[in-house]
Structure 1
Amino acid sequence: MDFTLHGDVLALLFFVAMAAGFIDAMAGGGGLITIPALLLVQLPPLLALGTNKLQGCSGSFTAALTMLKKRQVRFADVRVPFIAAFLGAALGTIAVQQINPKALDAIIPLILLGIGFYFLLAPNAGEVDGKPRLGGGLYRFVLVPIIGFYDGFFGPGTGSFFSLVGVSLRGQSLIGATAVAKVLNFATNIASLILFIAGGKVLWLVGMVMVCGQVIGAYAGTHAAIKGGARLIRPLIVVVCFSMVGRYFWQKGFLPF
């Protein structure tokens, strides 16, 4: 089957990736934009997921590198969670190539609603560092790999999941949790990308065009997140989570339009 795309479609995907990179750098959920776009241009699901990881990896790398350079997070502090996220995503990517990822359809909207309502109804969450409610061991070796597995298996909303755990369970400020989320999201993306490449599930021309857009959007989004802080990130997380749920219901035909 021929997957050659015309220049106007590639240009559209460039701008789609740029918008997704901006949103993902701040709140997560860039896959909400890019995966439907790739499916819309008739890429098979696994090829769409693999190509999405190529462009998403560039965006998460840009965001993570910027956060590290701006000293919003130190890699020494997230080295172990980075490895845990990498391994979790690798397992998830192997699994998605064996079973139907739609098995997650029933639970993911509920989780996203929970994240959205948490940040909506807890207006002071993440303003400053707080007291951790979850031990470091459970965080590093249980929750982080589980979120990593989800990203390798399906993807959209991973950054929001990492941010929620950081704020609600580890007592991080929202900007701190967002910075950690960017580094861990890069770990999950690179793990998935390696395995999708090994499985021949990446469309390189499309992916590289979207990489260019992702880098621009992620760079701008990361700087906006650092400058805007929780005041800007919190409402965006709420909007992204509710938008992903709305898209789910629309896809399933539950909405009358």
Structure 2
Amino acid sequence: MLDLSLNLVLVLIAAGFAAGFVDAIAGGGGLITVPALMLAGVPPAQALATNKVQGVFGAATAAISYAARGLVNLRQQWRMALLAGAGGILGAALVTRLPTEGLRLALPVVLIGIAIFFAVKPGLDDLDRLRRMSPVLFGALVVPLIGFYDGLIGPGAGSFYMIAFVSLAGYGVLKATAHTKLLNLFSNLGGLLTFALVGSPLWGLGLMMGLAQIAGAALGARLAARIGSRLIKPLLVLTSTVLALRLIWEMI
């Protein structure tokens, strides 16, 4: 581990808790943890790898919490989860070989579009609606593509899963959030498997932040399950907008 002061470690643990809470509800936890790690002096590649370590804990906690409340059927979703994991492995493996600058330039526009979609589209609630794509096609095309993006770049993957479930699979907002966490978990795991080999994550720091993520994700999932779209939609709009603005700031 880097020679981090106790104060810095405590700040990073607090960032892990906050990221777990936000990510369990609307995604975008990496918006908090990756900058925090880099500000603490962790090199960018190592920060991304360490972020995958702690992110797995939060995603797993949220997925289990939603499943325990009957909002996601793990037996029906395991194939999609494996495809998300395979996409995450491939994306992380190609992170140094593919030009990602074009994707990074387009990402703020896409995230702002997502924020506008959830902010202004009427009828977005916790009720299921018309399905525009069969589960087989959705699992074969959409899920591994977003998983690949999660491994390759990462920020915004949870928002992409969300909008895909709502707009293509016809899920209500709460159900979409629950299923997003399951797929996010596996694409995170896939990315972590690759980063563990090439990215040298800080395991000790990642585990400490991961424990804080568990607490934050459990609280976030509990509130989201209780309040539903009235909490999820505003937070999703906020996190997508802030992430887009942060990415634009990095380009300036």
Q: How does 1:81-230 map to 2 (within 5 A)?
A: 81-99=80-98, 101-230=100-229
**Within 2, Cα distance between the matches of 1:68 and 1:12?**
31
Ranges in structure 1 where 5+ consecutive residues have no aligned partner: none
Contact 2:150 2:157 in 1 (8 A): yes
**Within 1, Cα distance between the matches of 2:167 and 2:177?**
12
Residue identity over aligned pairs, in percent, reads 38
Q: Secondary structure at the match of 1:155?
A: coil
Distance 1:6 1:26, change over 3 A: same
Corresponding residue number in structure 1 for 2:243: 244
Distance apart, 1:175 and its partner CA: 0.6
**One-letter amino acid of the counterpart of residue 31, structure 1:** G
Q: Secondary structure at the match of 1:96?
A: coil
Paired residue total: 252
Distance apart, 1:100 and its partner CA: 5.4
Contact 1:18 1:216 in 2 (8 A): yes
Distance 1:3 1:98, change over 3 A: farther
**Within 2, Cα distance between the matches of 1:252 and 1:181?**
28
Q: Secondary structure at the match of 1:132?
A: coil
Contact 1:126 1:167 in 2 (8 A): no
Distance apart, 1:162 and its partner CA: 0.8
**One-letter amino acid of the counterpart of residue 159, structure 1:** G
Contact 1:17 1:214 in 2 (8 A): yes
Distance apart, 1:138 and its partner CA: 2.3
Q: TM-score if structure 1 supplies the norm length?
A: 0.94
**Within 1, Cα distance between the matches of 2:213 and 2:58?**
5
Q: Report the RMSD for the aligned CA atoms in angstroms.
A: 1.4
Ranges in structure 2 where 5+ consecutive residues have no aligned partner: none
Deviates more, 1:101-110 or 1:12-21: 101-110
Give CA deviations for 1:156-211 in whole Å, capped at 9, x if unaligned: 12111111111111110111100100100000111111111122521112112211
Give CA deviations for 1:114-153 in whole Å, capped at 9, x if unaligned: 1111101114224310110122232101111110001101
